[in-house]
Structure 1
Amino acid sequence: MSDTATEYSTRTPRLRSVFVSAVVALAAVALFVEPVARRELSDGRTVDFGLLQLKLAYNSGVAFSMGDQQPMWIVLTVTAVITAGIGVYAWRTAPSSSLAAMIGLSLMFAGAAANVIDRAVDGKVTDYFHTGWWPTFNLADTYITCGVVLLLAALLRESTQEPPNESSS
């Protein structure tokens, strides 16, 4: 077996296990925090940390409440399909992805999956981070945003690197 084939056969399962492990851990944390936020903030109080406050809100739409007038099953179906697409893309591109790109995809998929699960259970997403100048969001939304930034940075870095020199035999 060539060195490239050996690297491919050992690297792919490792990156896929990083992806799965990160998704499970991150989604579990996000899903654990949501009922705590609902319980602790349900009386309408706000916890002020200066630039960031904890304040309970619900979003029946998607980002920035887009689609909040649509039936829940439509929003749930569309977000679940997009989430599945991210997962399939991450799984299929693992052999050629950098670790940074896989972590970015893990963050995106974990955040999207946590929001889909929250929406499936409650019919809406629980938000609790409030700035006053930006729509209220949650930990899963933070994962998605950080994942997009990390993935874009990884792809930009990869695109500026010179391709490896392949010697012809």
Structure 2
Amino acid sequence: MSAPARSTRARIGLAILTATIVGIVVAATGATEAALADGRSIDLALLHLRLTYNSGVAFSLGAGLPVGVVLTATVLIIAGVATYAWRSTPTTPMPGRIGLAAILAGALSNLLDRATDGVVTDYVHTGWFPTFNLADTLITLGAVVLILTALREPKGSSTG
């Protein structure tokens, strides 16, 4: 297979994986929100599912900002990450591609959630850490996978 064909295939794979994960996260968030809508909390031993809404970004930073500002900043950041992912995917090993897809899917899922009513639905509560959601978990795990992939990369090679 030619290099351009491999690049196209890798990029299409990234887009399909990202879209699939977004679909799963949106469905899971909707189901969780419906299950917890009456103020109910579900005890899962180390975690509790408890519905909260975050008008800010990570750790509620910027909660007082207008929704348009938060949405605009979020879109710009996602555009930067998506551009990096699109350009680097053809030369990124498979684990790194999965990490990129997880980051993009988490960010896009939170953006879609915020676009509907100006807040992000959070529902995973530990008791010792701010409440978060599946999309936030994907962003964090994707970043860890991407970092570990970069650390395993042989010296002198580049991811684009």
For residue 154 of structure 1, report the CA deviation from its aligned partner. Answer: 0.6
Whether 1:129 and 2:142 are equivalent positions in the alignment is no
SS of corresponding position for 1:43: coil
Q: How does 1:7-156 map onto structure 2 within 5 Å?
A: 7-156=2-151
* Whole-angstrom distance in 1 between the partners of 2:60 and 2:78: 18
* 1:7 positional shift: 4.9
Compute the TM-score of the two structures, normalised by the length of structure 1.
0.88
Shift of 1:163: 4.4
Q: Deviations over 1:81-138 (max 9, x none)?
A: 1011111110011222111111111100000001011101121000111111111111
Gaps spanning 5+ residues in structure 2: where? none
Query: Per-residue deviation at 1:10?
Result: 3.3
2:64 partner SS: coil
Identical aligned residues as a percent: 45
In 2, the alpha carbon distance for the partners of 1:81 and 1:56 equals: 28
Structure with larger Rg: 1
Q: How many residues align?
A: 157
CA distance in 2, matches of 1:124, 1:71: 11
Letter in 1 for 2:82: G
Distance (Å, rounded) in 1 between the aligned partners of 2:102 and 2:2: 25
Give the distance between the partners of 1:48 and 1:64, measured in 2 at CA.
22
Aligned residue for 2:100, secondary structure, equals helix
What is the aligned-residue RMSD (CA, Å)? Answer: 1.4
